[in-house]
Amino acid sequence: MLQLACKDLGMNCPNVVSGTTVDEVKKKAMSHAQIVHADALSKMTPKQMADMDKVMESKIRS
């Protein structure tokens, strides 16, 4: 099982998402972020979003 924590991305949030694939984990993380961290996401540029996607991928662990 793969996991990603909001804390891994520098957020002060205890949420951890898990899944069997990297794509599944990223989708769950973004679903959470769109609800709980909507203000932070709304302030991000397309470049920052792309950079965050790369960071998410690098922080996903088993």
**Residue spans of alpha helices (H) in 1-62:** 22-36, 38-42, 46-59
pLDDT for the residue numbered 21: 98
pLDDT for the residue numbered 30: 97
- Range of 37's domain? 2-59
pLDDT for the residue numbered 19: 98
pLDDT for the residue numbered 29: 98
Only one residue has tokens 């709980």, namely: 36
Q: What residues pair up with 18 in beta bridges, in sequence order?
A: 3
Q: Which of 30, 9, 10, 11 is nearest to 19 (CA)?
A: 30
pLDDT one-digit tens code per residue, 10-54: 999 999 999 999 999 999 999 999 999 999 999 999 999 999 999
Into how many domains does the chain fold? 1
pLDDT for the residue numbered 20: 98
Q: CB-hemisphere CA count at 13 Å for 53?
A: 10
Sign of the C-alpha dihedral computed for residues 27, 7, 9 and 19 taken in this order: negative
pLDDT for the residue numbered 7: 97
